[in-house]
């Protein structure tokens, strides 16, 4: 990317971030959790499922299973039954049990605090690891790239494409490390509250003057 184009994009990104900070000062992870383990499990369940649905499921799940040891010792069928409504429940239940077994055997039942250790756990990709590190531990290792972040970052012309790993690296160059976790939340909140995939509220959008509305006319 030519230096002048990068500089212009960097400047526009900072202006977007400034507005989003003002509009969503309380932006945060909308998965309910009290411990790093609960956030880890909830994030695994959130794949291709709404946070609202996950929160309904984990309300009961976390009453029955409090520790990694509880999940590791539980019959797989019991976990499957409790997480069934989140979709792809067999694979999610298998990953949760395997993940928690590894936590018990390798980390004393505690959730590790590094990307490499988290990423090695069953069902944990970079997105999930970034969610846990950023929200449970306040550690900014990367940018959470979910469907909302991918969609809005493309619509805003900050990135191009759908490869989450590549998009994360591009966004990390545009946003200060201290804001990586917050920026993800702000884009997600804006996507849920203003910039709908099919019917974006461009008229009332707080960042409309900074948005090239890429793809909007196709809807």
Residues annotated catalytic, as ranges? 127, 146
Tokens of 23: 């509009």
> Residue 115: is it exposed, middle or buried by C-beta count within 10 angstroms (0-12/13-18/19+)?
middle
Query: d(Cα 76, Cα 59) in Å, to the nearest integer?
Result: 19
* Residue 59 neighbours by CB distance under 10 Å: 10
**Strand spans (E) along the chain:** none
In the 8-state DSSP scheme, what is residue 124? -
Tokens of 83: 């997480």
Query: d(Cα 121, Cα 110) in Å, to the nearest integer?
Result: 12
Tokens of 20: 């989003």
> Residue 157: is it exposed, middle or buried by C-beta count within 10 angstroms (0-12/13-18/19+)?
middle
Is 128:43 a contact under the CB 8 Å cutoff? Answer: yes
45 SS3 class: helix
Q: Which residues contact 162 (CB under 8 A, 6 or more apart)?
A: 150, 154
């Amino acid at each position: 990317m030519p230096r002048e184009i990068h500089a212009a994009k960097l400047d526009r990104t900072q202006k977007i971030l400034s507005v989003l900070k003002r509009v969503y000062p309380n932006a945060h992870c909308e998965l309910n959790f009290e411990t790093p383990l609960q956030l880890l499990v909830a994030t695994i369940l959130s794949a291709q499922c709404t946070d609202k649905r996950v929160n309904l499921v984990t309300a009961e799940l976390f009453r029955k299973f409090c520790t990694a040891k509880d999940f590791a010792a539980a019959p797989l069928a019991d976990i499957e039954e409790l997480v069934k409504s989140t979709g792809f429940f067999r694979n999610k239940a298998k990953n949760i049990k395997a993940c928690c077994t590894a936590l018990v055997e390798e980390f004393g039942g505690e959730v590790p605090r590094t990307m490499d250790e988290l990423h090695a756990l069953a069902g944990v990709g970079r997105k999930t690891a970034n969610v846990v590190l950023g929200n449970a531990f306040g550690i900014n290792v990367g940018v959470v790239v979910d469907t909302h972040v991918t969609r809005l970052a493309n619509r805003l012309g900050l990135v191009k494409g759908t490869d989450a790993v590549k998009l994360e690296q591009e966004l990390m160059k545009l946003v200060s490390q201290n804001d990586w976790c917050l920026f993800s939340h702000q884009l997600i909140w804006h996507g849920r509250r203003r910039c709908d995939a099919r019917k974006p509220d461009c008229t009332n959008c707080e960042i409309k003057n900074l948005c090239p509305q890429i793809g909007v006319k196709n809807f």
